[in-house]
Every structure is written in structure tokens, then in C-alpha cells.
Structure 1
């Protein structure tokens, strides 16, 4: 039986399953897409000159699974004009498996500097997958050499088996805010040392936002 849709928020349709996931389970693709939509429409839109792209989990899976780069390019936003690209990484290898995989992490690519930063809350679980995605992305951007991949060593680590997706959303928000506070050509500290995060409180915040939008719909 299909899950009931409880909220259409821009381009994502959230279901009762997505709401349950926010209350302590492994986050769904929709949960992460929802938070990306929130960041885009409440934060990024206030900076029209900024070229930061938040790719959805489905787009990242497309990049991993499709060999035809022309097909990938036609399905994605124009990545060549971006300064930074955020990519939620899932270790699922089968695109036919709904909500597949067992771990989320975050890849942030500085296009101009040619650096891919990987934030993994259960290091080094997604290291190989993230490297593969980074290589594919730089190839699409026409940069087959001269780029670097960095596993960020001070990424906050999760304390249970279900908060990886929450860490992706927390890290995405924190790093996006840093990038939005400086000039596009300025250097930004992409390390996470001293980052104060609370996954439980962030889950509550995400759920509260979903319910607030549902009440206003």
C-alpha cells in the first residue's frame, strides 16, 4: 500500500514514511531533498549572484549509474557555472531498490579550486563511493586531472546507526552558511573542527519545519 502524501514542498512530495523517518529512523531521499529545498528557497534565494548547486540524491544516483555523460548533463542543472556543488552520497548500488543503501555522507566540490571535500560521519564508510562520484563529476566538468579529493578528518562522528542522513543535512547547512557569508573569490575554511552539532535537536527542527509547512499548505 502506497504511503500517504502529507506535503508537497516545491519539488518534493513528502509522505508519512518520511515523517516517521525524522522521528528516529534512517533518513529517506525525500528527507534530504526536503532540507535542500528549504536551504534553496529560504537561504540561497537571498543571494541571487551566488552559484551554489545542491544536487538531489536522485541526481547523484543518476551520475553514478548512467554511463552516457550527455544524458547526465541534460538531466542536471548547468554545473559549469557553479562555484560549489553539494552532493549527498549514498552507498546503494542498485537504483531499483527503493530507499536502498545503508549510509549517507556529504561531498562538497569547489569547482574553481578543483577540490572535493568529503564529510563522512562514519569514516571511512563511503570513501570509495565518494571518490568515484568526485571523479565522475570532474570528468563531466571537463577536468580529468589536476583535481584533489580530501576526506575531512575532523568531521563530527555519529553516535548511533541511524543519524548519517541528519549529519548530511547539518553539515550541508553549516558549510552553505559559511560560503554565503564571504565573497565568492574568498577562501573559506571547509574543516569541521569545533563544529557543535546535535543530531537529535536537528531531527526535531526538521520535523517541526515539515509540520509547519504542512499546516500552512
Structure 2
């Protein structure tokens, strides 16, 4: 099964049974995802949507970029599966890739991808063979990030050095870890990797970076609502649209 198909299948499988809200390419957001985004712990789908949006709206402006945004469900598979080689068909083609972003979840239950309680971000520089870990709750996901680094290194066939970023901005509460992951991901992608020259050394430090988690939630909601309105417009204009289906952008 191709990477995108597997990611979409797992994303939908791990979703709650709430009502569909927006179908955006390979991601199906539900009303439960929207509720979580307004003030709770972000779901797999929230983060997967953000990655999908960055891939569709940002990365096309940088055709030479070789960056992979691995979905939470695929990162979970990578960390929990016993046979790493057995999930090769679910993984993207990492050849010529320079950097990989991985949302890390602390769930250790192989049967529940949504069973954890904390998100952090792992950014792997394949060209430098270093994995940078950004944890907004101290070292809460230190073990999980190290495990993911080791397993990804085995997939890539290269040793990866693990580096915990001690200057990562810290969340002020128990629910904003996923928002921090999304904001840090976009900042590192747009402000660091995509604007750097081919021979330029990129700093991965987040020293002094301020995170507005409330503003981040509002911005993500604005993006979703804008896409939903566009999906509704397309649905109403199409003679082939099926009734009782969520607005769709594809």
C-alpha cells in the first residue's frame, strides 16, 4: 500500500466516531478534531492535517526541497511495530531526502495510537545524520524520541546521533504540546530549512523563540474554516456531489 493511502487509512481508523467535518486531500477531519483544536490536546488528525496543509500550500513553492513530513500514524507504526522491514510499503521513499519531521507520541500501547498524553517533535537531518528533539515539556518524551531515532536510522541504513534541544520553548499548561509541535514544525521548515542556501549551515536552536499557542490554535481554525467554505462552494456547484458528505478539497 502506498504511503499516502496507508496514512489516510490509519488516520481515519484512529479518528473518533464523531461527524465528518472536512475532507482535505488525504485527511478527514471530524467535529471531535475541531473541538480538540479549540482548547484541548491535539489529535493525530489535527497534526496530520497541519502536515498535509504544509505539503500542499508551502512545499510546492520550493520545488528543490527534499523534505518529508511523516504523519503521526506512520511515526507510531515505525515506533511500535516489531518487524521494521514489514512496514516498508507504508513508508515514503527516503532516497535523496535531506530532512524528516516526525511528531512523537508517548503512547506505548501498540493497539492505541491515540493512547498517549504528550506530543514532541523530532527533526532528522539526514545529510548531517543528526536527530534534533524538541520537547515542550522538558524531557518527557526523551525515551520515545531516542527509540524513534534508532528505528529510523535502521530504516535509512545510517547511524543517527540523537540531540535533545535544551532551549526548546516550554508550554505553560498540559494541553498545548501538539500546538507547539505544529508551530515549531512550520518555523523550522519555513524560517530555517527552506530559506537556507545549499552550502549554508542551519541553526536548529530555538533559543528565544516565543510560542503563541492560543494564536496558533486560532490560525489553524481559520485555515480549516476557509477550506471548509471553499469545499461547500465546490459541493454546491457540482452536479455529482453526494448528499450528506463533508465538504471536500482535493
Q: Which TM-score bucket, shorter chain as reference?
A: over 0.9
Distance in 2, matches of 1:185 and 1:103, equals 35
Q: Which residue of 1 aligns with 2:8?
A: none
Helix, strand or coil for the counterpart of 2:122?
strand
Q: Is the 8 A contact 2:107 2:113 kept in 1?
A: no
Task: Tell me how far apart the structure 1 counterparts of residues 200 and 87 of structure 2 sit (CA, whole Å).
Answer: 30
1:64-213 to 2 correspondences below 5 Å: 64-97=79-112, 99-143=114-158, 145=159, 147-177=160-190, 178-213=192-227
SS of the aligned residue for 2:17 comes to: coil
Q: Which runs of 5+ in 2 are unaligned?
A: 1-15, 232-250
State the aligned residue count: 215
Is the 8 Å Cα contact of residues 83 and 184 (structure 1) preserved in structure 2?
no
Contact 2:119 2:177 in 1 (8 A): yes
Are the aligned partners of 1:50 and 1:184 in contact in 2 as well (CA < 8 Å)?
Answer: no
Secondary structure of the residue that 1:109 maps to in structure 2?
A: strand
Q: Following the alignment from structure 1 to structure 2, what is the Cα–Cα distance between the partners of residues 9 and 56?
A: 14
Compute the displacement of 1:65 (Å): 1.5
Contact residue 52 and residue 83 of structure 1 kept, 8 A: yes
Moved over 3 A (4+): none
Aligned in 2, Cα 1:184/1:5: closer, same or farther, shift over 3 Å?
farther
Structure 1 pair 148–98 and aligned structure 2 pair: CA distance change class (3 A): closer
- What is the CA–CA distance in structure 2 between the aligned matches of 1:193 and 1:107, rounded to whole Å? 17
Deviation at 1:98, TM superposition (A): 5.5
> Equivalents in 1 of 2:201, 2:88: separation in Å?
28
Gaps of 5+ in 1: none
Q: CA deviation at 1:68?
A: 2.1
1:73/1:207 Cα in 2 relative to 1: closer, same or farther (>3 Å)?
A: same
Mapped partners of 2:40, 2:110: distance in 1: 21
Larger radius of gyration: 2
SS of 1:167 mapped into structure 2: helix
Task: Give the aligned partner of residue 32 of structure 1.
Answer: 47
Cα separation, 2, equivalents of 1:42 and 1:80:
23
Aligned-residue RMSD, C-alpha: 1.2
CA distance in 2, matches of 1:102, 1:28: 10
The offset of 1:45, in angstroms, is 1.2
Where does residue 62 of structure 1 map in the other structure? 77
SS of the counterpart of 2:29?
Answer: strand
1:96-149 deviation line (CA, Å, top 9, x unaligned) = 226210000000000011000000000110000000000100111111x4x311
| CA–CA separation in structure 1 for the residues paired with 2:223 and 2:47 | 13
